[in-house]
Amino acid sequence: MEVLALIPNQYGHAPGQRSSIELWETVLSPVGINIHYAPFESERLREVLYRPGHYATKVGEMVRAYVDRIKLLGDLKRFDAVFVYREAALLGPAFLEKMVARRGVPIIYQLDDPLFVPYTSPSNGYLSYLKFFGKIAEICRLAKVVMVNSTPIREYVSQYNQNIWQVPSLVDTRQYVFRPQSKETKSGEVCLGWSGSPTTIGNIKVIAGALAKLAKRVPHRVHLIGGTEFDLPGVQYSAQKWAAETEVDDLRKIQVGMVPLPLNEWNKWKFYMKTAQYMALGIPTVATALGSNPEVVQHGVTGFLANTDDEWVEYLGRLIQDEELRSRMSRAAAQTAQEKYSLQSNTPKIIAAFQAALK
């Protein structure tokens, strides 16, 4: 089975692609399902896309990429199916997906973000509306198979397509290997950690007040990954930029993970990969009860769900002070991640979803 994969980003540069199709390929290829990648963005577009400004370059590169897509899809004879990750192009209506459908080639569509929710990108402003948010429903209708990563997104897709396969965003457990946490001699050595990106730095401010209160109550450290400057009055912390090459080692610096989220329409639908990554490494997590977190985190067993400042202070404080609780949750979290969010546990479903496109 030869599959053309229309991906938005350059291979190896986007977390969503790495935790899905790029990882899935390692189990698809051995059974004769061969993936041929076609990224939408050029190297130049990748350099400027998420920087403020550069609008002329962005528009020029977008147009160039769109023309290249049309040329590529003009001849699909050598492919048995087309895999579309999120959208065939970073802007415009579902024109390219319609081209594929008109040629009778089955579409395997992966939707792992709520792209149907209108939003304004902080780096691209109102150019975001050129994405045509309403096209997602149309792509779902055109697809032979739709693959989703969360129950909320599955419920959305079910309005337009019934051939839905739910595969969570996966942790590569070849890299995210569980190691029991070393015993701490003092509570002050326990490190609370958060990991994100420049676009999600604002999330940590959701618990700025809780962290300030906690700093006055119990000794601990705070380490933040994803930037160097965070607006957290009254909180002492260390910080570093995120890097794919060192991500696992960087996460091992922390003993308790934090996934705070602002309440908005976008976050209600998302699968939070960071929660699963923490768990795979045996890092008990306190997370906002939003999106996939209530499904992924078993409250009181693999971590805690918190919504108010008082709850964040209580649960983080308990994990800082209770070494046995941390150890017990660490083991339970790692076991759950292996059973539910590893490539190995989802391999049969991934293969069956691709094969279903030809039935």
Q: Give tens-digit pLDDT for 30-56.
A: 999 999 999 987 666 555 555 555 556
Mean pLDDT of the chain: 90
| Residue 188 in this model has a pLDDT that exceeds 80 | no
pTM for the complete prediction? 0.87
Instruction: Give me the half-sphere count of Cα atoms (radius 13 Å) on the Cβ side of residue 187.
Output: 15
| Residue 126 in this model has a pLDDT that exceeds 60 | no
The rounded distance, in Å, linking the Cα atoms of 166 and 180 is 30
Q: Which amino acid is at 13?
A: H
At residue 187, the pLDDT reads 44
| Residue 86 in this model has a pLDDT that exceeds 50 | yes
**What number is the average pLDDT over the span 146-170?**
96
At residue 54, the pLDDT reads 56
Give φ, ψ of 45 to 5 degrees: -65, -40
Domains of the chain, each with CATH number or no CATH: 2-170+343-356 (3.40.50.2000), 187-340 (3.40.50.2000)
At residue 186, the pLDDT reads 44
The pair of three-digit structure tokens given for residue 77, joined into one six-digit string: 């004879």
> In 3D, which of 238, 220, 221 has the Cα closest to residue 229?
238
CA dihedral 146, 152, 158, 164 (to 10 degrees): 30
Grouping H, G, I as helix, E, B as strand and the rest as coil, residue 78 is coil
